[in-house]
Amino acid sequence: MSSGDAYKRCLDSNHQWADKVAKEDPEFLNTQAKGQAPPILWLGCADSRVPETTILGCKPGDVFTHRNIANIINPTDISLLSIVQFAVFHLKVKHIVVCGHTSCGGVAGSLANSKLDILDIWLQPLRALREKYADELESMDASERGTFLAKKNVIAGVETLERIPTVIDAMRERGVTVHGLLYNLATGKLEEVEFDEDEKTANKRVTAFERK
């Protein structure tokens, strides 16, 4: 199928979808047009194989979303910070999710040493993680390395988010929770990425980054 055919097919599918929704739930689209109150902020990878609403089984309006190459959470990314500020402060989301995935091209690029032009700058946080965990990575095969680094990237993203003052306030005042997930392309299932942080460490972070 040509790219033009794919575009036309998508437009046709959209009209079919809209007609189907209007028939099955006549008020749904009108309600959507009046505003949004999603409980989840999803920070994921731009990979076409990881569409958050689809893999979560959610409807439009359920998930507020920001996606970029390799789901990198960078504290100087104005686009990301704007999304987080709007979602947390204005939409009052209850959950923030950082989601990576297996077979990630950005992770693979960070594990290789090819020149990637502007992506070399973007992927620097991932390369820094590769450097940090070089000894562990050395003992793994290619597939294991990719999954390992993807999980470490998710953890790094969670830690970065928990240093943003708006998120710190929301966690303390409204019980907002930050989660790390990894999507397995081969199974279609999400796995929680766990990491240990004791109370003393958490308190140190809050003390250093909160604003009063």
**23 and 53 housed in the same domain:** no
**63 and 167 housed in the same domain:** yes
Is 49 part of the annotated catalytic residue set?
A: yes
**1 and 69 housed in the same domain:** no
**186 and 100 housed in the same domain:** yes
- Beta pairing, strands 40-45 & 95-101: parallel
**2 and 87 housed in the same domain:** no
**5 and 91 housed in the same domain:** no
Catalytic residue among 10, 62, 95, 104: 104
Per the structure, the complete domain to which residue 123 belongs is given by: 37-209
**125 and 31 housed in the same domain:** no
Angstrom CA distances, 98 to 16, 27, 153, 195, stand at 32, 32, 9, 13
- Give the span between the Cα atoms of 69 and 125, in whole angstroms: 12
Domain count, the chain: 2
Task: Give the pLDDT confidence score for residue 2 in this predicted structure.
Answer: 61
**18 and 86 housed in the same domain:** no
- Give the span between the Cα atoms of 91 and 36, in whole angstroms: 8
What are phi and psi for residue 25, nearest 5 degrees?
-145, 85
**116 and 185 housed in the same domain:** yes
Residue 117 marked in a binding site: no
Considering only CA atoms, which of 156, 168, 180, 158 is closest in space to residue 209? 168
**13 and 73 housed in the same domain:** no
Residue 47 marked in a binding site: yes
**20 and 87 housed in the same domain:** no
Residue 104 marked in a binding site: yes
Per-residue pLDDT tens listing for the chain (212 residues): 566 699 999 999 999 999 999 999 999 999 999 999 999 999 999 999 999 999 999 999 999 999 999 999 999 999 999 999 999 999 999 999 999 999 999 999 999 999 999 999 999 999 999 999 999 999 999 889 999 999 999 999 999 999 999 999 999 999 999 999 999 999 999 999 988 888 888 889 889 998 87
- Give the span between the Cα atoms of 161 and 154, in whole angstroms: 11
Is 47 part of the annotated catalytic residue set?
A: yes
Is 45 part of the annotated catalytic residue set?
A: yes
Catalytic residue among 49, 67, 95, 205: 49
Q: What is the helix (H) or strand (E) element at residue 203, kind and residue range?
A: helix 199-209
**1 and 89 housed in the same domain:** no
Residue 160: give its domain's CATH number.
3.40.1050.10
